Amino acid sequence: MIALAPLSAERARRIVAGEFDGLDHVEGWPHEDTRDGLRLAEGGARVWLVEDDGVVIGDCGTTGPLDREVEIGFGLAAECRGRGHGTEVVRLLTEALCAEPDVERIVAHTLTGNVASQRVLEKAGFALDSVRNGTAGYARRAD
């Protein structure tokens, strides 16, 4: 079962430094973008570990502090992709952000060639909002 585990800025800092403190995770995590995503916690972004039955398979979160419009990002270990986990992660993340009183709109960006991420966003209720310079922007209202 997929679950999101909130990550403090301090814990994120330790993971970026390679200190996993007994954290059970799949071989493909942390992945290439993990460190960049976890570093955002230092600037006030919200970050979660993605767990499948208690084993970390990825991470997700916001790119900055909560505001009226919030941008999200997500990533899974390669071996965990293509199983519906990404859609579940985005749905859970969106639910958490919709519960925040100041959030009105949630956005996400992906490369135009990343069809898998686009499908994840669409299945989670996002709609294509813009296409610029090789990047597709998706958005949904927080309801």
Q: What is the pTM of this model?
A: 0.93
Instruction: Specify the length of the chain in residues.
Output: 143
66-114 confidence digits (pLDDT tens): 999 999 999 999 999 999 999 999 999 999 999 999 999 999 999 999 9
Query: Collapsing DSSP states into helix, strand and coil, what is residue 12?
Result: helix
Nearest to 108 by CA among 141, 142, 136, 78: 136
17-28 confidence digits (pLDDT tens): 999 888 999 999
**Fold (CATH) for 2-104:** Aminopeptidase (3.40.630)
Tell me the two tokens of residue 31: 């992945």
Is the Cα dihedral 101, 38, 11, 61 positive or negative?
positive
pLDDT at 22: 86
